[in-house]
């Protein structure tokens, strides 16, 4: 099961990198009033897709290790709940596909920032937090 934990822990860094790139593109596009282009669409989809993969790995790890001895301490339940909310927030941009560019950039930016803040809080809740 350690390989699952390592994959789950390592994937978070890819998510953070994609989130930072996405946020930079969204701020730039919003301020310059650019067309919501292919790169922004792909980054948004990559961000939410990676979070989906992370949630899947996390749920398997949560239930497998919980059932085989680690149990379900409160910090694990809080982490899981926070991350499920972060995943839901990361999927909000799909609601704004038909919005005008300025609104789409703004709303997607706030969704990405909100999701990233929830991720930071959820990982910090774990013993060892971001250092593991």
Range of the domain at 114: 2-131
Number of folded domains in the chain?
Answer: 1
CA–CA dist 72, 40 (Å, integer): 38
Residue 76: the pLDDT is 93
Residue 71: the pLDDT is 87
Residue 104: the pLDDT is 92
- Of 95, 25, 15, 7, nearest to 47 (Cα)? 15
For the segment 74-95, the average pLDDT, to the nearest whole number, is: 95
């Amino acid at each position: 099961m350690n390989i699952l934990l390592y994959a789950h822990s390592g994937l978070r860094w890819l998510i953070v990198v994609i989130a930072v790139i996405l946020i930079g593109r969204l701020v730039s596009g919003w301020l310059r009033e650019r067309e919501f282009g292919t790169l922004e669409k792909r980054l948004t989809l990559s961000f939410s897709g990676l979070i989906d993969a992370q949630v899947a790995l996390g749920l398997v790890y949560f239930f497998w290790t919980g059932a085989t001895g680690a149990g379900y301490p409160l910090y694990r339940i809080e982490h899981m709940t926070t991350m499920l909310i972060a995943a839901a927030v990361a999927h909000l941009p799909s609601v704004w596909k038909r919005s005008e560019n300025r609104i789409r950039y703004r709303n997607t930016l706030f969704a990405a920032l909100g999701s990233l803040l929830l991720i930071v809080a959820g990982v910090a809740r774990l013993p060892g937090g971001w250092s593991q």
